[in-house]
Structure 1
């Protein structure tokens, strides 16, 4: 069995490999592409039993790749996009795993793929399906979180997303720092909160911190391929992890 993985995040790629090693009894080979351009080369030169694909790659959305290259095998999408895309995938009978996913979620997606494919009910991607998925993605991208309701001792306050400079994980909650340096507790974990933010405005620089591009004041090189970032509203300088630095640089230039 030969598999193509389209995933720009290395930790997510490693997670998929670990799950596949546990799920598949037979041996498998795979290729990894972090961009549409690399994925196109692999698809032109190889054949695959199925594809595991994120939606957002380093150079654009994978839908553009599937619109350009004819795909003759099933695709399982793995993405943080929710609501509109989730409905669109289900409507078109396409297996979909919502990030952050568990091993159980992965197993269910594989079972769905096997069931649909074995019964001959798997719908291959065509131009109409891709167009529907792009429309769903566009609709979802217009519905990012605009404000958070913050409960405080003095009552309920509204925190506009445009005023947030830094978000830090704090157990099952998050602490959001605004441009004035005030800190606000949000009753959500970092992963859930990040999915609601516009990815062109916010970047998860490490496992526990998200920053806003609108409040980056300065960036310094640091050891082990890391970057120290001066952010409006906080004296502490958040730091990229070595695994996110390259993607962070590309995000800054988009």
Structure 2
């Protein structure tokens, strides 16, 4: 069996080779790859690999990104140190994985599974895309503090204390749950990308609201919604018909 190992840690590669040869001395590692870019280059050309072991974290990104650029037409077994939540996603998507540190018995079982289901082990790109989105969302770090101006000083404002952001006559303001208002020297678009989407939602062009600040949602004409928040705001906060369904799903999640 001819194998390719995609791994950026030399010790991990050597350990995997040792275990493979302990299981079957006829296994031949034909290529070691340590990055997304080198993997794309390799799989862009013809090769005779029969199985790929691929770490998720590589020197220049996540290995799922390889599948965005090139089709890998041989089975892939991922090696990962991710938590159980992510591993459930692997199970659901019918993708093989080995949890680090790799156990010889589990590796042997994976190889046996490969032998018995060889023709069925190719991973569709749609599965890779779904897992890539999941891994990216779990790894992205969101802003926990905003540095805001207050009189002649700068103070750190915890994101968790902010009830909503809004545009007021061209100026961005952050309003806390205790009704304190602070000016921010940035754009609402930039703030939107820095916030955890599980907690904040941009309901329209003027407002980004924390879910805990929402008190009631009322139906409006033509499929629109009116959002009431606390602390209250004098301006009526309207969710368009186009965003109404998505917004309700977000609130119900």
TM-score for the superposition, normalised by structure 1: 0.51
Pairs within 5 Å for 1:27-106 = 27-45=27-45, 46-106=47-107
Instruction: Name the SS for the 1:85 alignment partner.
Output: helix
Find the counterpart in structure 2 of residue 137 from structure 1: 135
The Cα shift of 1:65 comes to 0.6
Instruction: Identify if the C-alpha distance between structure 1 residues 27 and 62 changes in structure 2 by more than 3 Å, giving closer, same or farther.
Output: closer
Gaps of at least 5 residues in structure 1 are 144-254
Contact 1:95 1:112 in 2 (8 A): no
Contact 1:84 1:136 in 2 (8 A): no
Gaps of at least 5 residues in structure 2 are 142-253
Instruction: Identify if the C-alpha distance between structure 1 residues 114 and 91 changes in structure 2 by more than 3 Å, giving closer, same or farther.
Output: farther
Tell me, in whole angstroms, the C-alpha distance in 2 between the residues paired with 1:102 and 1:76. Answer: 14
Contact 2:4 2:49 in 1 (8 A): yes
Instruction: Name the SS for the 2:12 alignment partner.
Output: helix
Tell me, in whole angstroms, the C-alpha distance in 1 between the residues paired with 2:70 and 2:140. Answer: 28
Find the counterpart in structure 2 of residue 191 from structure 1: none
Instruction: Name the SS for the 2:26 alignment partner.
Output: coil
Deviations 1:66-115 (A, max 9, x none): 22111110000001112233112111222110112221221122223223
Find the counterpart in structure 1 of residue 171 from structure 2: none
Contact 2:3 2:53 in 1 (8 A): yes
Contact 1:84 1:137 in 2 (8 A): no
The Cα shift of 1:64 comes to 0.6
Tell me, in whole angstroms, the C-alpha distance in 1 between the residues paired with 2:72 and 2:36. Answer: 14
The Cα shift of 1:21 comes to 0.5
Q: How many residues align?
A: 142
Instruction: Name the SS for the 2:3 alignment partner.
Output: strand
Find the counterpart in structure 2 of residue 23 from structure 1: 23
Find the counterpart in structure 1 of residue 156 from structure 2: none
The Cα shift of 1:42 comes to 1.8
Contact 1:33 1:39 in 2 (8 A): yes
TM-score for the superposition, normalised by structure 2: 0.51
The Cα shift of 1:27 comes to 4.5
